[in-house]
A and B are shown apart, each in its own frame.
Chain A
């Protein structure tokens, strides 16, 4: 089981940094870093869309502080156990 992130530019506010999240090679989520236009949410990470197993979860309505926080949620939701040392 592995979670892979690919860098993309999302067509929001003239082009925003984003990630495609793949689980075992399959696209499971589209993530964006919120632009300055989002005021106090700017710079936080948001799940724009989700597929597969994730659709059984309630998508977070909030934005995450940073990418690692979002990835933790993804891993937890996809049932990826964290290694004890992590």
Chain B
């Protein structure tokens, strides 16, 4: 499989791409590297020459505060390019690291600029990707600011499942998600104890199952309803969150 396939899957979930656009995207080349959980790709202040395409695993953007406090700003899955902003903003304003053992492809920014110059549709879809990402940040803000612990976790899991589905990483109502409770705590602004307690509530309510890194949504409709998840902000045109 060509490494950029997931990228192509993701982009074509957002718009209709022609065969020549597809060829341009699949021809993107870079250096594939493996990352151990906890390893960084870039840290705040870096001036990267490459954009990172996630191939396997989960990466996350984060900021560190005093006292070792950490806030995850995003969870990035295969097909995502978490530092795509480096195309136009020279320095990283947050760090990017692997949450699980992962694989990424580092694509020279020049390569991407070059295909952007060759197709206005590819240009448009990359802009769309960055805008959808901003929409995801807006949802995360609502999550952090106003949703209850139950809603926060439920919403996050609905979002992850919907994004995984768009890049072909779901199996029915299940997907692989190896992130730890402590990483979720650092993304949702909750303590480990609270995450533990709330995941138990979600399980006991028959909404999810999650063991050995396999997340299963047992009642999609109810999970969306109780967590206030409405997936239109993800702008998936070819695969929408199912209404069952």
Contacts and interface: CB of A to CB of B under 8 A. Distances in A.
Is chain B a partner of chain A in the same complex? yes
Interface of A: 12, 34, 37-39, 41, 46, 58-59, 61-63
Contact of B200 (A37, A46, A58, A62): A37
A41 B185 CA distance: 15
B192 A62 contact: yes
Contacts of A12: 197
A63 B191 CA distance: 9
B1 interface: no
B193 interface: yes
A41 B193 contact: yes
Given A59-B191, A63-B192, 18 more contacts: A12-B197, A34-B193, A37-B197, A37-B200, A38-B193, A38-B196, A38-B197, A39-B196, A41-B192, A46-B191, A58-B67, A58-B69, A61-B185, A61-B191, A61-B192, A61-B193, A62-B191, A63-B193
B196 to A, nearest CB: 6
Interface of B: 67, 69, 185, 191-193, 196-197, 200
A63 B185 CA distance: 14
24 contacts: A12-B197, A34-B193, A37-B197, A37-B200, A38-B193, A38-B196, A38-B197, A39-B196, A41-B192, A41-B193, A41-B196, A46-B191, A46-B193, A58-B67, A58-B69, A59-B191, A61-B185, A61-B191, A61-B192, A61-B193, A62-B191, A62-B192, A63-B192, A63-B193
Contacts of A41: 192-193, 196
A37 B192 CA distance: 13
A12 B197 CA distance: 9
Nearest to B185: A61
A63 B200 CA distance: 17
A5 B186 CA distance: 30
